[in-house]
Amino acid sequence: MSVPAFGLGTFRLQGQVVIDSVSTGLELGYRVIDTAQIYENEAEVGQAIAASGIPRDELFITSKIWIANLGKDALIPSLKESLRKLRTDYLDLTLIHWPSPQDQVPVGEFMDALLEAKQLGLTREIGVSNFTVDLMQQAIAAVGADQIATNQIELHPYLQNRKVVAAARDQGIRITSYMTLAYGEVLKDPLIRQIAEQHQATPAQVTLAWAMQLGYAVIPSSTRRENLASNLKARALRLSDEEMAKIAGLERAHRLTSPPGLAPKWD
């Protein structure tokens, strides 16, 4: 099973806001939902999914293990609690959300526990998030590259994370881009806007299409129905080699997510 190219993110959405976003997304045709333990919205996401009536086997649900639950005795119980909240017997993909700060829980320990969760049928695929090249190598040493479905990282035109992308590709690990729109910053970029005008598309569609054309999965979020519907159209947009090269030139190492005490030493 590969990670689908296009999904719906739920970061920073809680309560009725996330219920409405997921409900609308599912109604519009989204079938991939990305959440996390630390988002504190798994129960609401599960409520929206249950109310949709969409068969479970038509959905791809991802959640992420928080750092407090990385120990070998905590990871699987915490995943079972996520399943209870999400009202499902299994996840399609379970990620380690962040590496353990100061290596308090060794990579091998939590990757072994995550692989055990897969072997128990609690999750169909496993992967990592916010992992550097070194951390990916440690995870591969623990469970094998063939077991790691994706590394979900901050990636947008202003931070293209090429070292991590290259290392993942060498091992056959897919990249999932989060914050692909850079909190909306790239939507104001003159080049992105110019390309959008040429395609009669939105800057968001151009940016999402750029990421997918590079082979990355994307999980944009929105609370507005028109944006949810519009983002879906990025799947049909193709950019020229010249346009792709121009967007590649926007790289400026502009990292937006690096929580003190949590972020690893970035590549």
Answer yes or no: is 225 within a domain. Answer: yes
The total of structural domains in the chain comes to 1
Average the pLDDT over 181-209 and give the result. Answer: 98
Answer yes or no: is 232 within a domain. Answer: yes
pTM: 0.97
Answer yes or no: is 253 within a domain. Answer: no
Q: Which domain, by its residues, includes 86?
A: 8-248
Answer yes or no: is 37 within a domain. Answer: yes
- Sequence length of the chain is 267
Q: Is 199 annotated as a binding residue?
A: no
Point out the residues that are catalytic.
39
149 dihedral zone (left: phi>0; alpha: psi -120 to 50; beta): alpha
| Residue 212, amino acid | M
Model pLDDT for residues 220-240, shown as the tens digit of each residue: 999 999 999 999 999 999 999
Model pLDDT for residues 75-116, shown as the tens digit of each residue: 999 999 999 999 999 999 999 999 999 999 999 999 999 999
CATH of the domain at 133: 3.20.20.100
Answer yes or no: is 260 within a domain. Answer: no
Which residue reads 């750029």 in tokens?
210
255 dihedral zone (left: phi>0; alpha: psi -120 to 50; beta): beta
Residue 207 structure tokens: 């940016």
Answer yes or no: is 180 within a domain. Answer: yes
Answer yes or no: is 262 within a domain. Answer: no
Answer yes or no: is 266 within a domain. Answer: no
